[in-house]
Structure 1
Amino acid sequence: MDILHLFGESSGLKTNLQKSNVLPIRCGEPELDILQQLLPCEISVFPCRYLGLPLSLKKLTKAQIQPIIDQIADQLPGWKADLMTRAGRKVQVQFVLTAMLIYLAMALDFPPWAIKAVDKLRRGFL
C-alpha cells in the first residue's frame, strides 16, 4: 500500500481500490494471502479480459479468439456496403479494420487462421 501511496504523491494520481483488481500470475496460497493483506482489492484469476482482449497464461484457443473476429465483422455490416462508394468502403477497411488488427497484433499472438478470416471479411466488404 505504501508503494501506491508514494506513486500517488509523486504523480498526483490516486488509486481507486474499489475499481482495482489484482491478477497474480502463478502465485501460491501464501503469496495470495500476502497480496490480500497488502492490497485490499479484489483478486482475479486468469484467463480474464483486459481492455477488451482475452489474457491467458496459455496460448489462446479458437473459442477465445472467435469473439474478437466477430467484433471485427460487426464493424463491416454488409448492408452498408451497398450504400457506400468503393472509396468509402476502402477507407472503412483501411482505417477501421487495420487499426483494430494493429492493436490486436501488438497485444496478442494472433494466429494465422484468424488473420486469414479477417482478410476474408475485408475482401468481402470491398
Structure 2
Amino acid sequence: MFQYFSQFSEASGLQANLGKSSVYFGGVKQEVRKQIVDHLGFVHGELPFKYLGIPLSTKKIALIQWQPLVEKITAKISSWTARKLSYA
C-alpha cells in the first residue's frame, strides 16, 4: 500500500497530510492493523466519521443524522429557484 502512495505522490506532486489522514479497517486482525499503521504512519480511525459533511458508517444512518445535510441542500435549491424565477 505504501508503494502506491509513493507512486501517486511522485506522479502527481501531491502528498498525504499525515496530520489529517486516517486509515480504516474492516475484518483485519489487530496485529496486521498495527503493522499497517506503523508502516504508513497514519492514525487508526474509527467509524462513524464525517467526510465532506456526510456521515459515513458501517450501519444504517438514522434520518436525524441526515437532517443537517438535507437542510443545506434544501437551502441551496431554494436560493437557486429564487434567483431563476421572474415575477413578470
The aligned residue for residue 54 of structure 2 is 53
Matches within 5 A, 1:1-126: 1-73=2-74, 75=75, 89=82, 91=84
Aligned-partner SS, 1:60: coil
More helix by share: 1
The normalised TM-score by structure 2 is: 0.69
Shift in CA distance, 88/10, structure 1 to aligned 2, threshold 3 Å: closer
- 1:60: Cα distance to partner? 1.3
The normalised TM-score by structure 1 is: 0.52
Shift in CA distance, 11/90, structure 1 to aligned 2, threshold 3 Å: closer
The superposition leaves residues 4-40 of structure 1 with CA deviations (integer Å, 9 ceiling, x where unpaired) of: 2222112222222222111223433123212211211
Kindly, what percent of the aligned residue pairs are identical? 29
AA at the equivalent of 1:91: K
Q: RMSD of aligned C-alpha atoms?
A: 2.9
AA at the equivalent of 1:43: H
In the alignment, the residues of structure 1 paired with residue 81 and residue 73 of structure 2 have an alpha-carbon distance, to the nearest angstrom, of 17
In the alignment, the residues of structure 1 paired with residue 38 and residue 11 of structure 2 have an alpha-carbon distance, to the nearest angstrom, of 24
In the alignment, the residues of structure 2 paired with residue 88 and residue 36 of structure 1 have an alpha-carbon distance, to the nearest angstrom, of 48
Aligned-partner SS, 2:72: helix
Report how many aligned residue pairs link the two structures. 83
In the alignment, the residues of structure 2 paired with residue 56 and residue 4 of structure 1 have an alpha-carbon distance, to the nearest angstrom, of 24
Deviates more, 1:3-12 or 1:38-47: 3-12
Aligned-partner SS, 1:6: helix
The superposition leaves residues 18-74 of structure 1 with CA deviations (integer Å, 9 ceiling, x where unpaired) of: 22111223433123212211211221111111111111112211222122223345x
